[in-house]
A and B are shown apart, each in its own frame.
Chain A
Amino acid sequence: MPSRHRTVVVGASTGGFTTAESLRCNGYDGRITVVGEEPHRPYHRPPLSKQILAGEWALGDATITSAATTPALSIDLVLGTRATGLDTDRRTVKTTDGELSFDSLVIATGVSARRPARQYALAGFHTLRTLDDSTALTADLRGATHVLVVGAGVLGSEIAAVLAKRGLAVTLVGRSGSIRFGQTGSLLSSRVADLHETNGVRLLLALDVIRLLGTDRVTGAVLSDGSTVAADVVVAAVGSSPRVEWLAGSDLQLADGVVCDSAGRAAKDIYAVGDVARWSDTPGTHSARVEHQQNAIEQAHAVASTISTGIPHAPDIVPFFWSELYGTRIQAYGRFTGAGTLDVVAGDPAEGKFVGLASRDGTAVGVVGWNLPRAFRIARAQFTSGTADIGERQLAP
């Protein structure tokens, strides 16, 4: 009798846990083992730079709640265990706790925060990707008065906003001349910059940190124009690297992530989902890695369907993300590369609430919501069905 089918999932966060749960919802009755390096139960990362950093939520509030309990789902959750190698011929994953054999493998190892090339071992220097990072940062903020945030993207902006709200003097430094806000690129730069300045964050663009000051503990930094910034704590949010080091030497194609087809297949019976995965677009040859929670969830659902039915599911997943700065809810849906104009379709930018339709060469490519979430949702549905009504007023990018 053939032994029971077994799916091994590596990475116990949004992508990995959702895949496992979705397999069960689809009626998959094989064994499911989820291996995760972190000791914590799967949790949501978005609150780490929002409610948790603000001190509004306890760490446990970010835990992913499941409709059914893990024992009821019959998922074997192996925490505190790291995958260290993959043998595609023998279909085994090596871990710090022995070998696991699989019939299907799902890679959901996410990304790690990039540390600037100049290695900063100084106390007071932080990145923010995990719950443990969050604990360390929060502890270090006690007694701090000046914080330097390096990296003016979504994450750097969120961190700067929350710390300013906590009463700290915050300097936000970005290497690029504009604020690059996730998939919307620099389309929202001047608006985000206005928010920072209105709320007292000192924003320095087109500047880089050359080196940190301090002997044991950081006391500040020297910038590329020769100026110095004093800081008790420095937080870097300068991008991320896919966690593929454990796949080195396997036959999988690695190129800024795990290269997959449009159904998330990296090789026969091997899939990747979430931040680590580079799926090719359904119609063309272009492939992309998307670092947003909704994308990880939808890829997880697709892979779970493929594994449980044997029929490849290749959905067209349009990137969606949300962020929050100083109480302003910012949302974006679409593929914004090359988008140069934003037409207001609802609300009024002067009042700090609007929905905009982004276009490239006259074609609508995405929807942006600025503190108008319900209207954003309606515009998004119209955009998807191709009936978006382009407003009269045009905003400068």
Chain B
Amino acid sequence: MKIEVNQSTCVGSGQCALTAEDLFDQDDDGIVILLHDHAKPEFQDAAQRAASLCPARAITLSD
């Protein structure tokens, strides 16, 4: 599963890193940093949860 983030719409909520700390972090301004651009099968549920909780919908997943 491929993960993409849009740093220009990210609002720095940290929701993604709280939900899937193996995949997402934040810079000093709170903007999302993608740690892995592919989610291994065991992280796919967490990636999906993070994407669905993002208040800015700044995370997109594709197969």
Contacts and interface: CB of A to CB of B under 8 A. Distances in A.
Interface of A: 18, 22, 25, 44, 46, 61, 64-67, 293-294, 297-298, 301, 320, 322, 329, 331, 373-374, 376-377, 380-381
Contact of A67 (B9, B25, B30, B61): B61
Contacts of B30: 329, 373-374, 376-377
A338 B24 CA distance: 34
Contact of B55 (A61, A297, A329, A374): A297
Contacts of A377: 14, 17-18, 26, 30
Nearest to A304: B52
Contacts of B42: none
Nearest to B58: A65
Contacts of A373: 12-14, 26, 29-30
Interface string B38-60: 00000000001001110111001
A376 B53 contact: no
B57 A64 contact: yes
B11 A322 contact: yes
Given A67-B51, A329-B29, 6 more contacts: A61-B9, A67-B61, A331-B13, A374-B14, A374-B28, A381-B18
Given A373-B30, A374-B30, A297 B14 contact: no
Given A294-B13, A377-B14, A44 B56 contact: yes
B59 to A, nearest CB: 9
Contacts of B55: 46, 293-294, 297, 322
A374 B26 contact: yes
Contacts of A22: 52
Contact of B53 (A64, A67, A298, A381): A298
Contacts of B29: 329, 373
Nearest to B27: A374
Given A374-B28, A377-B17, A380-B18, A297 B53 contact: yes
Given A65-B60, A297-B53, A377-B26, A322 B12 contact: yes
Nearest to A64: B57
Contacts of B17: 377
Contacts of A46: 11, 55
A374 B24 CA distance: 12
Which are the 4 A-B pairs with shortest beta-carbon distances?
A373-B30, A377-B14, A373-B12, A374-B26
Contacts of B57: 44, 64-66
Given A329-B30, A380-B18, A381-B18, A320 B13 contact: yes
B15 to A, nearest CB: 7
A22 B48 CA distance: 11
Contact of B12 (A25, A297, A298, A329): A329
Contacts of A374: 14, 25-28, 30
30 contacts: A18-B52, A22-B52, A25-B48, A25-B52, A44-B56, A46-B11, A61-B9, A67-B61, A293-B55, A294-B13, A297-B53, A298-B53, A320-B13, A322-B11, A322-B55, A329-B30, A331-B12, A331-B13, A373-B12, A373-B29, A374-B25, A374-B28, A374-B30, A376-B14, A376-B30, A377-B17, A377-B18, A377-B30, A380-B14, A380-B18
